[in-house]
Amino acid sequence: MPIKNHFPTAQLLNIHEQYFMIDCGEGAQMQLKRYGFSMLKINHIFISHIHGDHTFGLFGLISTMSMLGRSVDLHIYAPALLEEILHSHLHYFGKHITHKIVFHAVNTDDSTLIFENNAITVHAIPLKHRVPAAGFLFREKKTPPNENKKKIIKKKKKKNNIILF
C-alpha cells in the first residue's frame, strides 16, 4: 500500500555505466526522475516475484520509455507468469510501444546463469516465498590490469630498478 515518503521496491544498479533495475514497484519512475537517472539507460530489468509491490511500476515505465523515443530492446527477466501478464497489458495498453520487449523466464527452482556480458554475470537464485521467487546475484568479472609497458620501463629506469605502481 502506498505510504507517504515510502516507495515499493526498485533498485538501480550501475556497473561501469550499464544500468540494471531490480524490481520495479509503483513510483519507480518518480524516484528515477528525483535522483536524475535516465530511464532510457536501463536495458535490463530483473523482477524477483509476481507481487504488486515488485511489479506495478513496470507497465508505466515501459510506456514512458516509449514516449521518450526508446528504440533499443528492453530485456525483462522474471518468473514465467509475468510474461502472460505483460502480454495482456501490452495487448490493451501497448499499441504505441516503440521498442522490442524481450522476456526471459527465470528458473525459480535452481540457480541459473541468466545474463552475461563482458563485465558481469547474473545468476537467478531460488528464494522461499509464497509465490515462485528468485534473487539475483551480480558478479563483476575480473579485468586484466591496465598496464602501460613503456611507462613501467621508464619508471623502472628512473627509480634504480624499483617499480612503482
Query: Structure pTM?
Result: 0.84
Is the pLDDT score of 36 beyond 50? yes
In this prediction, residue 106 carries a pLDDT of: 97
Confidence category of residue 9, pLDDT binned at 50, 70, 90: confident
The reported pLDDT for the residue numbered 165 is 46
Average pLDDT over residues 33-46: 95
The pLDDT of residue 8: 85
Neighbouring CB atoms inside 10 A of 16's CB total 10
What is the CATH topology of the domain spanning 11-158? Metallo-beta-lactamase; Chain A (3.60.15)
- Enzyme catalytic residues: 53
Of 102, 20, 23, nearest to 58 (Cα)? 23
Nearest Cα to 57, choosing from 4, 6, 8?
Answer: 8
Range in 17-31, 67-81, 134-148 with the lowest mean pLDDT: 134-148
Mean residue pLDDT across the chain = 89
CA atoms within 13 Å, Cβ hemisphere of 62: 28
Domain locations in the chain? 11-158
Return all residues near 77 (Cβ < 8 A) that are at least 6 apart: 44, 45, 46, 47, 104, 106, 114, 115, 122, 124, 136
pLDDT tier at 95, thresholds 50, 70, 90? confident
Q: What is the pLDDT of residue 103?
A: 97
What cell numbers appear for 74 in the block?
528492453
What SS3 state is found at 84? helix
